[in-house]
Amino acid sequence: MSAMPAATGLPTRRRLGDRLGDRLLLGLAILASLTAVVVIALIIYKLIDGASASISTFGLGFLWHSTWNPASSAGVADANVFGAGTLIFGTVVTSAISLLIAVPLGVAIGVYLSLLAPGRVGAVIGPLVELLAAIPSVILGLWGIIILAPVMRSTIEPALHGAFGFIPIFGTPSATGLGVFTAGVVLAIMVLPIIASISRDLFLSVPRELKDGALALGATRWEMIRGVVLDSTRPGLAAATILGLSRALGEAIAVTQLMGAGSVLSKNLFTTGDSLASRLAEQVTNPQSSQQLAALFYCAVILLAMELVVNLAAQLIVRHFERNQGVLR
């Protein structure tokens, strides 16, 4: 008789633990998942909140005005007038330079790794290219300042100026090697591994029958690559480019180190400039007035909006073609 309560008692306690444990784990998992959503909402709210004073003062004109005058003393003309025109220009131009370099190079690397490299060579080079993405931007910036900038100043910029000097963007070479062009080149190094690894995966996903079919029809390898592989993965390559753009737009540190913190709009790529992200890196910790901090938050809002648009676009492209084709990941 005495064994009965124990025999039923144990499973009940166990069952209670089971039920509580299930609820607890599910609750915690839902809570953690909601945290991710809440953090996004909180970031958007907090940045807009911090920028509200600046948004109401300068409105949308902030986007194209290029005064940035954090004067704290009263009586100075244009004191505490801010605009992000030069910064948006700098962000767009450096990102464009990086994509112009990294997209063709990255796609070519993708072609090599997925279609041309002998198995063992590809197995070594693929991870090495991905390792490039692991190098922190501050180290690439340090390398850019001390190693790349002098080479830019003494060799590359004069050569480009000499050959293409009639185009205004290749103007007088800089005195230090620091500037928009150098920043764009180092950004390209950061974007390159992203484009390369995505395009490799894309090209690997092209059905073998299509590639073999083209070769069987007498196409050369390159004709097969151009006609079958590149053609069928075009939307994926667009998404890869957009993801690379997302990386380039938001990079603050290396750009701060290499762009030379200029404040003038110039056609010449060899002059100094500044971008949204790098202005934030330079000035958020020591604003001279609350208006300046609000203007910096406004810059962060612009950057956030650009990134959200770019990332959602990449998502849409990938989703759309996942549904239609199944070729993309």
Which parts of 296-315 interact with other proteins (CB under 8 A)? 296-297, 300, 303-304, 307-308, 310-312, 314-315
Dihedral sign from CA coordinates of 232, 235, 241, 247: negative
Among 151, 217, 264, 265, indicate the residue that binds other proteins (CB under 8 A). Answer: 217
Cβ closest to other proteins, residue 167 vs residue 305: 305
- Only one residue has tokens 């704290």, namely 72
Exactly one of 78, 212, 223, 322 binds other proteins (CB under 8 A); which one?
Answer: 223
Write out the H or E segment, with its range, that includes residue 24: helix 3-58
Number of residues that bind other proteins (CB under 8 A): 100
**Of 231, 259, 253, the residue nearest 97 (C-alpha):** 259
Interface with other proteins (CB under 8 A), residue from 99, 192, 240, 269: 192
Q: Using the rule CB under 8 A, which residue among 8, 10, 16, 42 binds other proteins?
A: 42
Contact stretch for other proteins (CB under 8 A) within 64-72, 157-165, 264-272, 295-303: 295-303
Residue 114's alpha-carbon distances to 44, 72, 244, in angstroms, are 40, 58, 19
Which region, judged by CB under 8 A, interacts with other proteins, from 65-73, 150-158, 165-173, 245-253? Answer: 245-253
Q: Does 55 bind other proteins (CB under 8 A)?
A: no
Q: Is 116 near other proteins (CB under 8 A)?
A: yes
x-or-dash pattern for other proteins, window 135-164, by CB under 8 A? xxxxxxxxx-xxx-----------------
CB of residue 289 to other proteins, shortest distance in Å: 13
Q: What are phi and psi of 67, to 5 degrees?
A: -75, 140
Q: Which of residues 262-291 bind other proteins (CB under 8 A)?
A: 277, 280-281, 284-285
Token output for 114 = 């997925």
Q: Which of residues 168-187 bind other proteins (CB under 8 A)?
A: none
Please name the residues in contact with 229: beta carbons below 8 A apart, sequence gap of 6 or more. Answer: 111, 115, 203, 206, 211
Task: Say if residues 63 and 84 touch (Cβ distance below 8 Å).
Answer: yes
**Residue with smaller CB distance to other proteins, 227 or 262:** 227
Does position 132 interact with other proteins (CB under 8 A)? The reply is yes
Interface residue with other proteins among 87, 88, 97, 109 (CB under 8 A) is 109
Closest CA to 269 of 126, 164, 196: 164
State which residue, 169 or 252, has the beta carbon closest to other proteins.
Answer: 252
Q: What Cα–Cα distance (Å) separates residue 327 from each residue in 109, 203, 322?
A: 20, 9, 7
Interface with other proteins (CB under 8 A), residue from 3, 4, 74, 134: 134
Q: Which of 208, 144, 136 is nearest to 176 (CA)?
A: 144
User: With 0-12 CB in 10 A as exposed, 13-18 as middle and 19+ as buried, what is 294?
Assistant: buried
CA-wise closest residue to 146 among 6, 1, 236, 254: 254
78: tokens are 């244009």
Task: Show the site string, 65-104: x = touches other proteins by CB under 8 A, - = not.
Answer: ---------------------------------------x
For the bound state, the minimum distance from the C-beta of residue 197 to other proteins, rounded and expressed in Å, comes to: 11
